Amino acid sequence: MSSPSVVEAAPTRPNPPGPRGLPVLGSALQMGGRDVLSNYMELQREYGDIVFVKLGPLNGYILASPDYVHHVLVKNQKNYIKGIGYDGLRLLVGQGVLTSDGEVWRQQRRLMQPPFTPTAITQFAGMMIEITQRLLDRWEPYAERGEVLSMDAEMLHLTMSIIGRAMFSIDLGEESKEVGAAFEEAFGFIPSRNGMALPLALPLPAHRRFQGNLDVINQFVEERIAEGRRNPTQDNLLSLLLRARDEETGQALSTTDLRDEVVTLFFAGFETTARSLTWGWYLLAKHPEVQARLAAEADRVLQGRAPTIDDLFQLNYTRQVVDETLRLYPPTALLARQNVEADEIGGYAIPPKSMIILVPYLVHRYPGMWPDPERFDPERFTPQASEARSKTAYIPFASGPRVCLGNNFALLEMVYAMSMAAGRYQLEMAEDEEIPFELVGTMRPTKPLRVKVQRK
């Protein structure tokens, strides 16, 4: 018979608390869907920073605290892979740098890093400014006639044009609307591919539509690759991938590898940035005093001209607005991992191959780190305030080795767009309404953001 002291000295506690769930399915149904973030917030309130959920046959752990998430993404990252949580996405992006693991990922990341360093991305600044300027010119007649613009569509158009130019030196927003629409629709389909999804081979209408979109995307990307091979002197991200050689074998990327990386960059870079900008405008329209300060900074720094790369370091308040937008609306509000070996988090034993759900949305509202967390307040990101807070509390681009490859690219794009637009127009919502979010892959507005622009 074991003595009481041995029982007490058990190394870890049993499963963390969590909802009971249904037989067989467990809580799998509550862990998906558009309201999932509100569900997670409720679970955190009820059970704490680590919540146990049964997801069919899998053990799931929802992590809501900066420390626990940091443990997975940084401290013990070697024990965590992307795993089955990314199977749905693999249908679209294949085995690119976003979905791969281990040595394959390390090699891909090494290969793709060079154009995304803070210095290297400045080569894209001129192109971003030109495309943004063109978008703002298009708003002119709307301003004159007092017509309403749909900011969602405008921002998707902007980021699609920018990533298209960076990848292939062509303007997808203008020239290839069909491909743009195929990308957008295919992204929207992925979140439905959770563990409970029916096999894609079943000829359901949604499956057929996805396949059709995939065909459009594949044909377009393959044509671009063929053209890039014919014209190797082009200067864009695709040509860089075409020129890349494995350090050890000297081998070039296969057409399939190239296709996967190209679609990955699109997937990762286009919608995330567009949604963030849309939420930014929503917050600015709701907070005219912040918008006025942003506009004053644009007037002072840019004085009516197009920005330069040096201006970037003067647009500090704009950057604070961007940072605060990404805190409240982190486009990738959920991340998933699987642990290879057993681990321990918060004193609880985590068996191998569990499903670990990391929730930046909750980390960005973590009690104690973020007073009055739902309030939009760019002052949270003054250098002093940021310095005083643990870096682990702010992870819109994740952290550790798998941190977003395009974070500097996205920030550059967003700071330019916000400052240039605020310098030229004043924005207000066409209807004074609240726009709730839903999680469909990214945090999307549930209705269009309709705004009126006025020439300043």
Yes or no: say if 61 and 350 are a contact pair by the CB < 8 Å rule. yes
Which CB, 19 or 360, lies closer to ligand HEM?
Answer: 360
59-67, 197-205, 216-224, 399-407 -> range binding ligand HEM (CB under 6 A): 399-407
Yes or no: say if 183 and 217 are a contact pair by the CB < 8 Å rule. yes
Yes or no: say if 329 and 437 are a contact pair by the CB < 8 Å rule. yes
> Of the candidates 40, 220, 409, 416, which one interacts with ligand HEM according to CB under 6 A?
409
The whole-angstrom separation of Cα 322 and Cα 320 is 5
Please work out, in degrees rounded to the nearest 5, the angle formed at the alpha carbon of residue 123 by the alpha carbons of 122 and 126: 90
Torsion (CA) 389, 391, 392, 394 in degrees, nearest 10: 90
CB 341, min distance to ligand HEM, A:
19
Residue 437 β-bridge partners: 445
Q: How far lies 113's CA from each of 108, 238, 244, 409, in Å?
A: 8, 13, 11, 12
Which CB, 22 or 104, lies closer to ligand HEM?
Answer: 104
Which CB, 19 or 331, lies closer to ligand HEM?
Answer: 331
128-136, 147-155, 199-207, 264-272 -> range binding ligand HEM (CB under 6 A): 264-272
CB 2, min distance to ligand HEM, A:
42
CB 187, min distance to ligand HEM, A:
13
Report the SS3 class of residue 248.
Answer: coil
Yes or no: say if 271 and 172 are a contact pair by the CB < 8 Å rule. no
- Segment 314 to 333, residues that bind ligand HEM, using CB under 6 A: 331-332
CB 456, min distance to ligand HEM, A:
26
The whole-angstrom separation of Cα 320 and Cα 383 is 9
Decide if residue 294 touches ligand HEM (CB under 6 A): no
Q: How far lies 286's CA from each of 153, 167, 280, 431, in Å?
A: 19, 35, 10, 11
DSSP label of 20: -
Which CB, 155 or 422, lies closer to ligand HEM?
Answer: 155
Decide if residue 161 touches ligand HEM (CB under 6 A): no
Q: By beta-carbon distance, which residue lies closest to ligand HEM?
A: 406
Going by their DSSP bridges, the two strands 348-350 and 80-81 should be labelled as unpaired
CB 109, min distance to ligand HEM, A:
5
CB 11, min distance to ligand HEM, A:
29
Report the SS3 class of residue 101.
Answer: coil
CB 397, min distance to ligand HEM, A:
5
Type of residue numbered 283: L
Q: How far lies 395's CA from each of 317, 335, 400, in Å?
A: 20, 11, 10
> Of the candidates 69, 149, 158, 268, which one interacts with ligand HEM according to CB under 6 A?
268
Q: Where are the alpha helices (H) located in 234-382, listed in sequence order?
A: 237-243, 255-269, 271-286, 288-302, 316-328, 360-363
Which CB, 365 or 402, lies closer to ligand HEM?
Answer: 402
Decide if residue 26 touches ligand HEM (CB under 6 A): no
DSSP label of 309: T
CB 219, min distance to ligand HEM, A:
22
- Segment 335 to 354, residues that bind ligand HEM, using CB under 6 A: 335
* Residues binding ligand HEM: number (CB under 6 A): 22
245-253, 266-274, 305-313, 370-378 -> range binding ligand HEM (CB under 6 A): 266-274
- Segment 377 to 396, residues that bind ligand HEM, using CB under 6 A: 396
> Of the candidates 19, 60, 269, 280, which one interacts with ligand HEM according to CB under 6 A?
269
The whole-angstrom separation of Cα 41 and Cα 54 is 17
Decide if residue 402 touches ligand HEM (CB under 6 A): yes
Decide if residue 88 touches ligand HEM (CB under 6 A): no
> Of the candidates 111, 315, 410, 440, which one interacts with ligand HEM according to CB under 6 A?
410
Give the position of tokens 């009516």.
304
Decide if residue 19 touches ligand HEM (CB under 6 A): no
> Of the candidates 16, 66, 378, 406, which one interacts with ligand HEM according to CB under 6 A?
406
Residue 345 β-bridge partners: 348
- Nearest CA-CA partner of 74 in 291, 348, 391: 391
The whole-angstrom separation of Cα 179 and Cα 217 is 6
Give the position of tokens 């310095």.
387
Residue 20: both structure tokens together: 């009971």
Decide if residue 279 touches ligand HEM (CB under 6 A): no
CB 3, min distance to ligand HEM, A:
45
Footprint of ligand HEM (CB under 6 A): 97-98, 109, 264-265, 268-269, 272-273, 276, 331-332, 335, 396-398, 402, 404-406, 409-410
